Structure 1
Amino acid sequence: MAGETAGSGRGGSARGGTLQVVQSLAAQGEPERAAQLYEELGAAQRERLRKEAAQGSVKERHWLVDVLRRARDFTGAARLLDGSGDDVSVADLYAQGGQHVAAAEAYLRAGEVEKAAAAFERGGALERALEVYRGLGARESMAHCLVRLGRPFEAADLYHELGQAHAEAEALGGVLAEDPRYVEAVLRTCKVLDAGGFTHRALAVLADALSSSELLRADPVLVTEKARLLRRMGLDVEAEALLARLAAGATVPEASGYRFLKAIPIFGELTLEDMKDLYRLARPVTVTPGSVLLEKGSPGTGLLVLLEGTVDVFSGNEPNARHLNTLGPGSFLGEISLVQDGPVSANVRAKTAVRALRITRESFQHFLTTHDAASLHIYRLFTQNLAARVRALSG
C-alpha cells in the first residue's frame, strides 16, 4: 500500500494521497499502521507530508503528531506541534530529536527556565546557557559554562566564592602558557593547592610551569613561590639555594625529574599512562654533602634518580677505595635492585648537596603487579641491558 500511495502521481503533493491515508488510519485508531506507512516513505515525501499537514486543522495535526512520535520522527512532531501552546510537549519532542537549542527556546516559552538552561548548555549554546543560569543565580552551572567557553579566570572566581578549591584549581589549569595571565594562573593555583594541604601537588604544578620555557625558569616571581613551597615542605636548605641562584642570575634548574625517569633504558617502552603512574611512585630525597647514598654489600633498596648536585662512586667503603666516577643530574643508581635481589656493588657518597627521586623496591613491585604490559616491557629491556653489560665485560 505504501508503494502505491507514494507513487500516486499528484504533482508531488501528498494532500489527498498519503497524508489522507495516514490521517485516516490514525483517526480509525490504527496509529501503529499509520506510523509504519510514514516510516516507509522517502525523506522528501515525509517532508511534503509534514508541510501539507501543517496547513490542516489542529485535530488533524495532533493525529499526525502522535503518528510521528510513534515513528520516532520527534523533530517533525515537534515542528507540527509548535505554535499550539503546548510548549512543554514541543520542548520534550525537540529534546528527544536531539534539537536541544530548539527545545531550550520552547522550555523558556513554557516557563521551564532550569530545563531551558540545561538544554542550551547541552546544545552547545553556551552563551545563552550562561545568560539563563545567571538569571537563576546558578553559580556552579555558570562556572561550568565559563570553563567550556575558555574563560577560566571567571570560572575560578565563581568556584572560589563557592568554596570549591579543587574546581578552582582545575579551572585555572586550563590557562595556556601563551596566555598573558599564565604566571598569574600558576601562582594562584599553587596558593589554592597549598592552602588545601596539597603542597606537593602545588610544587608539581610550579615545576611544570618552570620547565616549560627558559624565560619562565628564570621568572623571579615563580622562583620565589617555589622557594616558599620548599620551605613549607621543610626543605629550607633547598629554598635558600634556589634564591641564591636567582640572586646570582643563574638559570633555575628543572624541578621535575619526570624526563630523567623517562630516559632510563628499562622504561624506554612504557606508555604515557604507565610512565605517569610510575612517576607518582617517586618520592623526593635530599642528601647533605658527605652522606652515603648506597653502601657496597648492603641489600639494594631501589632506584635513585639525581635531580640536583653530584655524587662520587667508589669501589668500596674502605678509605683507600678507588674512585670510579662522579655522577650528576639525570644519572640514576640502583635500577638493578628494582627487579633483582642482590647486594649493592659500589659505594656512593654525596659530593655536594643532592636532591633526588627515590622509587623503593616495594612500591615498584606493586607497580609491576598492577601493570601487566609495563612489566613485560621492563623485564624484556632489563634482560637485554643486562646481556649487553655481560658482553661488554666479557669483551
Structure 2
Amino acid sequence: MTRARRPLVAAAVVAAVLGLAAGEAAAQGFERPPLPRITPTPHSDLPPIATEPQQRRRRHMPGGAATPFFTLPDGATPFTPQMGGPPALMPTMPGLPGSPGLPPQFADRTAVALDARYRQGGQYVRDGLHWRIFSDTPEASGAFALVAESRDAAPVFALRPGNYIMHVAFGTFAQTKRLRIGTEPYRESIVMNAGAVRLVGKVGESQIRNARLSFDIFAGGLFDGGEPRLVLRQAPAGDLIALPEGTYHVVSIYGDANATIRADLRIRAGQVTDATIQHRAANVSLKLVQQREGGEAIGNAAWTVLTPGGDVIKESIGAFPSMVLQEGEYLAIARHEGRVFNKRFTVEAGKDQNIEVVAR
C-alpha cells in the first residue's frame, strides 16, 4: 500500500494514479506490470518526530526574520471515542453476485466495502473522506476513467470483477491502491496514519474573529533545514484540518498588514491538536482632520504607514482606513491636494485606537 499525501484537487488524483510504484502490494495477491515512476509526493518524506539535532540551524520561512516565533506545547488529545464497528457498513456482505445484498440491476457485480482508520487498530474516520475508483487501464487520451466515487465514511461499491485503482483523500492526505475484484465480496480498510489540528488566534484574552485570521501550514519545523514545503495556504481559523502525522510550521496572519506570528507544532496519528496562536497586535484607524485634533475629517487622503526605519507596512486611500498592526512604533503619512502631513504613533497589543493626523 502506497501513501500519497497531497491536497484534494483533480491534478493530485491523476498524479497519484499515474505514480503508483511498481513495488506496491496488490490486493489479494494481484500481480501487475510495472508502472512509470514519478517525482516523490510533497509529503512522502515528512521528517519524523525526533529529538532536537545537535546544531539547530534556522531556515528561511515566509514572514521575515523579525516575525515572532515560538513552539506550541504538545497538546494533542485523542479523537472522541467511537463505539461499535465501522460506520455505515452493510450488515452482511453478499456471498455471490446477484444475491439479495445487491439490487437486481447489479446482478453481474461484486460488493466492495471500504473504510478508513486514523491509525493501525485505531478509530474509524467518520467524515471528510472522498473515495474514487478508477479503471486501471488508461483510455486513448492517457486518462484513467472514473468508475465510481463517494463521500461516505464507509461506502459499498458495486463493481464488475476486474482490476481497479482506488484513491481516497482526507484533507491534505491521500492514498492510492490497486484492487483486484473477483466474484467474492471484497473489503478493504485503509490506515491513514493521520491526525488533525484546529487553529485559533487570540490577542490577550480576546479571541480573534475567524474571518480576519488565516494560517499557512508548511511541512517540517523551523530548524529542520531544507526548503519549506507549503502544505496548505490560507487555512481558515476554527476548522478541523486533517494532516499526516509529523511536524509542521504554521504562519498565522492577522489582518492584511504586518501582524504575523510563526509556530511549530506536532500532529499525531489519531489525535486532534487544538492550538491557540497569541498575537501581539491591535486595530488602528486613521483620520485626517482640519486645524486641530477632533476637527472635521478630510476625505480622499492617500495614506502610507511606515516603520521608523522607513519600511512600508500599509498603503490605503480613503477617509478612515483601518488596519491591524503588530505592536511597535509607526509613522502615518497622509497626502491630500499636494500637501503632506504626518504623525508618529505607538501600537500596544490589544489596545485599539484612532489616530488623527492634523492638516495645518
Shorter chain as normaliser: what TM range?
Answer: under 0.3
Which one scores higher on RCO, CA 8 angstroms, separation ≥ 6? 2
TM-score for the superposition, normalised by structure 2: 0.22
Structure whose CA Rg is larger = 1
TM score, norm. by length of structure 1? 0.20
